[in-house]
Structure 1
């Protein structure tokens, strides 16, 4: 059987050996609150490389201390973070995986000490702190921080960078009219709300010429919020800026009820891919190889992002290959027990 899931995929100068991507998932394991890579990260990520995942994406990594989702998040705001990432990248690549990092700022969903910031001074919910509205100069500082994060990711040797524009974090907050009530150049119209992301992409690309992904939340699931149709237009703008792939998730910019079922976000990926004419990644309760095959063979996405299933099964590529009846290479150390 010829498998779409186990076919290679090339983006710019980077070729993935299969279409399986380990989705970024926070590990909350930088226990000294300094954002440093620790032993857990080496164990966690490298085991998935041994398991034959094609592209491993390191969790949301903060470009400023203030931009951490939690005090235990990884950081890339200092050159001191580079050596740990460089070692992690080297270890993952030794097992044939390509490597990526998701650079992020949590905005009003940060749970760190001190002030948190957002486009507008509106709390995410009653259980979150009220953020401080960003000034124009503070916005410029964060945009520069994304660029410097990209520089450090390049120095660490990552193959791909993803900008986190989803799940209610800072970039998503600027994009959505539910969280952005500004009346300056960064709010008030779809074009102005996109400006922050536009400038972040520009800043990143000044430091980075490799493949660039952006994760989005394609549906706010709330009246007056953004819809997949809105993100088709935003995806066209991102493509014009040189973004190579849209990683299509959804929700979390405001509290909302979401009917989550297997593949519930795939339709958003399909729509954006085929209406904006840009490669996409599909994510969200994709657990079976046959699911992934259907998505790829029907041109609904180009890559399959696997999250929780890879927490349960670090060797999910092997599981998927057995389900599809295809043979994949084993780590030589595991030859005797791979089949």
Structure 2
């Protein structure tokens, strides 16, 4: 994808659902741990999100907001289950909008990849099989419980919209609850939510259809196109499963992986391929005709511009690279040296015992480390 490409692709203003972005670059969604359990956000948290907001960024993704207390991914996660918990999110939206940046709010249920040690509540899943990393004994959701989960996703989408979210992303990737339904590797149900592809995708169809009716054309989905397991999700399965939702989806965010003790492709090592899911993203975009977002080992503005100019995706999401240098996009056009991500792994804050997201290069985060009492040693 080289060959003398410029940064011209970074000047596009893609239309995503009913929202036009000022730039085709976004901050990837991650659970920052910056919100209090009451939904508040402190000065440091607001400064953290503000650090990314400039006229070169089109989309700020706020990730990891749970639809129910039992669905929090870890003890630092916030549950957006009522309007009173939306005041911190509202401040983030106002901050981003002041810089012309749109906001996507990612809503999720962690399913079997969380548990009582994090939430104080029993874990649930499509099928009563433990996560190979988290362990535990998740219970299989009953039909009534599935109906409640659907209600919770729709309710949280409505809360996020009222708080100012321009886009709302249903997290159906990475082995979390919805992802566990979609994948034949983790869904062995024999009822209307398991078995063939159509039944496995039923819960996502119900959520997206109802959420679209409730908040309009701002619903996106994050979905796996790769799972290193027998029967795991593939691009063809993702395309077939989402085909009937094309008119209701504002975008599809392409990703891969689930919790595993093998190599991690959710937050992939830099030694793996760059733009890890570019071929799959291009295929999904062509087949479904829905705007696509892509993340996964995209480490330079030049690579992002290449993906955009080759129509691989409509929006490129940076995670660790923007975390290490929030001014990276400005630096790319001014000639200032960019601070690269060194793949130190400290952004995986929960496994390090940090209270929230951390990067040793981020100007807001770096001074905070000395104030922490770490829960565990490296």
TM-score of the aligned structures, taking structure 2 as reference length: 0.80
Q: In the alignment, does 2:100 pair up with 1:96?
A: yes
1:186 equivalent in structure 2: 193
Contact kept in structure 2, 1:182 and 1:188, CA below 8 Å: yes
Partner residue in 2 for 1:5: 10
- After TM superposition, give the deviation of residue 60 of structure 1 in Å: 1.3
Distance 1:260 1:128 in 2: 27
Match of 1:77 in 2: 81
Deviation at 1:191, TM superposition (A): 0.6
Residue 68 (str. 1) matches residue 72 (str. 2) = yes
Post-superposition offset of 1:255:
4.8
Aligned to 1:107: 111
Give structure 1 regions of 4+ aligned residues with deviation exceeding 3 angstroms.
Answer: 33-40, 253-259
Q: Which runs of 5+ in 2 are unaligned?
A: 1-5, 266-270, 337-378
Structure 1 CA distance for aligned equivalents of residues 135 and 7 of structure 2: 49
Q: In the alignment, is the contact (CA less than 8 A) between 1:270 and 1:299 conserved in 2?
A: yes
Distance 1:135 1:50, change over 3 A: same
Query: 1:214 is matched with which residue?
Result: 221
| Residue in 2 that maps onto 1:244 | 250
Q: 1:140 to 1:155 in 2, by over 3 A?
A: same
The one-character-per-residue Cα deviations of 1:56-109 (angstroms, maximum 9, x if unpaired) are: 010110011111001211221112112222222111111121111001111111
Q: Secondary structure at the match of 1:48?
A: coil
| Structural RMSD (CA) | 2.0
TM-score (norm 1): 0.89
1:63/1:146 contact within 8 Å kept? yes
Q: Give matches, 1:162-201, under 5 Å.
A: 162-201=169-208
Alignment partner, residue 124 of structure 1: 131
Distance 2:229 2:335 in 1: 38
Compared CA separation, residues 216 and 310, structure 1 to 2 (3 A):
same
Shift of the 314–64 alpha-carbon distance from structure 1 to 2, 3 Å rule, reads same
* SS of match in other structure, 2:32: coil
Q: Which residue pairs with 1:290 in the alignment?
A: 302
**Could you tell me whether the CA contact under 8 Å between 2:226 and 2:233 is conserved in 1?**
yes
Which residue of structure 2 aligns with residue 37 of structure 1? Answer: 41
Aligned length: 322
1:299–1:323 distance in 2 versus 1, CA, 3 Å: farther
The alignment status of 1:266 with 2:278, answered yes or no, reads: yes
> What is the distance in 2 between the residues matched to 1:303 and 1:323?
23
